[in-house]
Structure formats: structure tokens, C-alpha cells
A and B are shown apart, each in its own frame.
Chain A
């Protein structure tokens, strides 16, 4: 019987190496700002509900948006604890500890997979929250009476167009071609072979 040799299995890493940072920025900078904007809009609708055509619908959308964006921060923070690289392990453990236990690197690989699974949930809630926020802004802009109606309809239309662009962008991000094989790394001696 053929003896199968051990396959090469490299360390787990994101395909786009900047993805974790981009994702963390969306979850720790954009999500709190947008959640704050949502909650401000909630306050405005509660106080001046008469100035909106559909205050109830707008309130519902904006509250759902705030919940989704706050969930993004919480789920993202929970996911983030599973993402670290070899340098982090080396900062916590002495080289002799690492030599004694390969379990740490194995655990890192399992944790990276956990991060991917949990981060996905944060990404889905972030995308949902931003979509709901744009829809709530669009409904808030619909004029309640004839005064300045044309301008407000135009603004509401623009917000809806923004929602469409956002939906397209999200779809694009979920389906974009990751590209072909990675380029061969350059040789460290200046490319002389």
C-alpha cells in the first residue's frame, strides 16, 4: 500500500492581509458613529414626530438600525479575541515554551477559524445596520406636507439611490473575484535568482 507523506499545511492567514484591520475599522470606528447617528435620529423623531410623514415606520427602522450597529460592535469585539499572529504568541511565551508545546500554534489556527466564523456575523449585522439606517433616513426625508415637498422628495430619492448603491456594493464585496494565484515573492537578494 502506498505510504502517503505528510502534506504541507501553512499557517492560517486572511487572503487579503489587510482585511482584519479594515474589518476592525468598520466595527470600531464606523459602527459606533453610525449607531450614535441612529440614536440621535430616534430622539428627533420622538420629540418632533409631527414633522415626519411616517414617524412610526421611521422610528422602527432607525431603532432596528441602532440595534444592528450596536450588535456589530459587541460581536466584533467578541470575535477579535480570536485573532492574533505568531508575534503575539512570542510576546507571551518564551522560545523554550514554544519549542516544548506546538499546541499553541495549533490553537492559533483553530482560533483563526473561530475569528472568521464570528467576524462574519459582525459583518452581516454591520451591513444590515447601514442598509436600515439609509432606509430610515429616506423615510424621514419624505415630506409630511406640501411645503418644500419637491426638495424633500428629491432628497428622499437620493437617499434611496444611496441605498441601492450600498446594496450593490455589499453584493460586490460578497462576490468579488479574489484574483488569481498570488505572485511569486521577490527574492531577498534583489532578484538575482
Chain B
């Protein structure tokens, strides 16, 4: 309690993968989710480029995490049903990544 009150500042932007619960940092917006969807529609190479640029491979997922090929914005902002849909869309384009 004393710690919370006396120390100034209050950190944010810490998320965790909903599947493997590994943490990652970043401030994300819905626009980034929309950008990912557009990249997916444009094909595999653009989707892979988007993944690379979004920092998806910097998130330290476990090796078997099924969500490791989704951008961090999707992991942070999509509720469960949307996340499942994103997973399937991603797999349809990128396979097992």
C-alpha cells in the first residue's frame, strides 16, 4: 500500500499472450488490427512482412504456442472469439507459419 502511494508513476502497456501467457510490451490500436487483416487479404508475402514489421517475432512465445504467428496488436486487443477467428484466418494464409 505504502509502495503504491508513495512511488510516483504508474506503468502500463504490459500484455501477455492469451495462450502461452508470455509477457510483451507495447501500445496498440485497433487500426493495427485492421492493417493486419488487410495484409492477410493481400497474400502470404505481405502478411509475413507485416508480421515481421509488427514485432510478432520479438514476442517470446513458447515454441508450440498456437498464437505465435499473430501480431501483438491482435493478441492485445482481440477478445476470445475474434482471436480464434484471427488464428484460423492466419493459418489459412500462412499455414503453420
Contacts and interface: CB of A to CB of B under 8 A. Distances in A.
Contacts of B11: 123, 170, 172-174, 176
B12 interface: yes
A113 B31 CA distance: 15
Contact of A23 (B8, B10, B60): B10
A49 B87 CA distance: 62
Nearest to A163: B8
A140 to B, nearest CB: 18
Contact of B5 (A15, A25, A173): A25
B79 A109 contact: yes
Main secondary structure of the interface of A (DSSP, over half): helix
Interface residues of A, number: 47
B13 A109 contact: no
Contacts of B60: 180-181
Given A166-B9, A174-B11, A7 B16 contact: no
Name the 8 nearest CB pairs between A and B, nearest first.
A173-B11, A7-B66, A178-B23, A110-B79, A170-B9, A25-B4, A109-B79, A15-B23
Interface of A: 2, 4, 6-10, 12-16, 19, 21-23, 25-26, 29-30, 105-106, 109-110, 113, 116-117, 119-120, 123-124, 126-127, 130, 166, 169-170, 172-176, 178-182
Interface of B: 1, 3-5, 7-16, 18-19, 21-25, 27, 60, 62, 66-67, 76-81, 83-84, 87-88, 91, 95-96
Given A7-B87, A10-B18, A13-B16, 12 more contacts: A12-B79, A14-B16, A22-B3, A22-B10, A106-B79, A113-B76, A113-B79, A116-B15, A117-B77, A123-B12, A127-B9, A170-B9
